Amino acid sequence: MERTLSIIKPDAVKRGLIGEVVKRLEQNQLNIVAMKMIHMTKDQAKGFYAVHQERPFFESLTDFMISGPAVVMVLEGDNVIARYRELMGATNYEEAAEGTIRREFATDIEKNVVHGSDASETAAFEISYFFNSFEIVN
Ligand code: GDP
């Protein structure tokens, strides 16, 4: 059993896509074991994306992530990190496979609807960034 962090990013929340994303998670047996709506501060967004702090898009990305509420979730299941990355599609929606969330709904390389952890170490860091153990159901 593996866990991963999912975020429905502010672009998707604004566009009324929470239900669409959640439906796809449920249809693909990516079990939601924690879920809440948050509105990140700039410092929280910078801490979350600290690995990207040297990238030219860091300012823009962190401004985008604080531009409105987001939905953070913990997903659980066998091989859930890779399975959710596959469902999301490539970072750049123009390169994402047909039928993926980003291919269908993203409008921009930055405003790409969803986030998913990319490895087990990052998943552990990212889950604990937003949730304590009491907020995750067994
Ligand atoms: P992910 O794991 O697929 O989300 O991709 P990364 O970890 O590489 O990037 C994190 C997030 O930064 C992406 O989901 C995008 O929102 C944003 N991003 C990535 N590359 C670019 C870029 O070239 N330009 C801009 N403006 N944003 C980017």
The single residue listed with the structure tokens 């600290």 is: 50
Looking from the CA of residue 49, the nearest atom of ligand 1 is 10
Region 24-50 average pLDDT: 98
Q: What is the DSSP letter of 118?
A: S
Can you give the pTM of this predicted structure? Answer: 0.98
What is the average per-residue pLDDT within 96-121?
Answer: 98
Could you give the dihedral angle defined by the CA atoms of residues 6, 12, 13 and 19, in that order, rounded to the nearest 10 degrees?
Answer: -70
79: Cβ below 6 Å to ligand 1? no
Measured distance CA(84)–CA(86) in Å, rounded? 5
Query: Of these residues, 46, 102, 111, 115, which one is catalytic?
Result: 115
Nearest residue (CA) to ligand 1, atom 18: 110
Q: 107 CB under 6 A from ligand 1?
A: no
Mean pLDDT score, 64-71: 98
Give the Cα separation of 114 and 18 in Å (integer): 10
Distance (Å) from CA 134 to ligand 1 centroid: 30
Average pLDDT value over all residues in the chain? 98
- Under DSSP, is residue 17 helix (H, G, I), strand (E, B) or coil? coil
